[in-house]
Amino acid sequence: MEEHGVVPDVIDSVPKDVCEVSWDSGVKAQMGNILTPTQVQRPPTVTYPAEAGAFYTVVMTDPDAPSRKDPKFREWHHWMVINVPGNDISKGTVNSEYVGSGPPPNTGLHRYVILVYKQPSGKMTNCSDAYRKKTGAGRGGWNARKFAADNNLGEPVAGNLYQAEFDDYVPKLYEEMDRNK
């Protein structure tokens, strides 16, 4: 995470554990490997070391919006699931619908960072970020550090990342987000 500048762009220190992030297309995030938007269209499976009885929050963010050279929308929020019991994401509450990688054309590689936070007080009842449909509205300018601080989550306990740049799927993603406004 330091090698790819996630520390300090998104978080202050490298999480203790690496979470496994895999998609039904057969690809996995591997601490900065390059994947395509076509490969990561649907929500991934995320696993990590979890304590029995604990709840977790999983987020995915892009600190390179609209580009790594000009990150004026840093960060762009892609996904959030709160109140995940252990590491069973399917039983968590989707706070923000998954939006796969959608880097604009000619903006180079974007970093997509998946972070796992342990919720210190059991289930969250008043998450600081409201539910978001699969649109772009309200996703730019999000901040993982601020979100964690606002919800008393501390530092992430696990993380991973991959990189992606524009491909032929991105215009289809933009169309889908426009329909959901």
| Cα Rg of the chain, angstroms | 15
Is 104 a domain residue? yes
CA angle 98, 33, 119 (to 5 degrees): 45
CA distance 177 to 96: 13
pTM above 0.85, yes or no: yes
Q: What's residue 24's pLDDT?
A: 96
Torsion angle, alpha carbons of 20, 24, 30, 36, to 10: -150
Token pair listed for 94: 């989707």
| Other beta carbons within 10 Å of 162 | 27
Q: Is residue 26 part of a domain?
A: yes
Residue 109 belongs to some domain of the structure: yes
- Domain contains 22: yes
Per-residue confidence in pLDDT tens, the chain, 181 aa: 999 999 999 999 999 999 999 999 999 999 999 999 999 999 999 999 999 999 999 999 999 999 999 999 999 999 999 999 999 999 999 999 999 999 999 999 999 999 999 999 889 987 767 667 888 888 999 999 999 999 999 999 999 999 999 999 999 999 999 888 7
The pLDDT assigned to 132 comes to: 76
User: Which residue do the tokens 């998609």 mark?
Assistant: 23
CATH number at 127 reads 3.90.280.10
pLDDT value of position 18? 98
Residue 41 lies in a domain: yes
Distance CA 137, CA 125 (A): 23
Q: Which domain holds residue 132?
A: 6-179
The whole-number pLDDT of residue 71 equals 94
The encoded tokens of residue 35 equal: 């994947």
CA distance 19 to 37: 20
pLDDT of residue 130: 64
* C-beta neighbour count of 122 within 10 angstroms: 10
How confident is the model at residue 181, as a pLDDT? 73
Residue 1 lies inside a defined structural domain of this protein: no
How far apart are the C-alpha atoms of 6 and 71, rounded to whole Å? 13
pLDDT at residue 106 in the model: 96
151 lies in some domain: yes
Structural domain tally of the chain? 1
Is residue 159 situated within a structural domain? yes
Q: HSE (CB half, 13 Å, CA atoms) of 121? A: 8
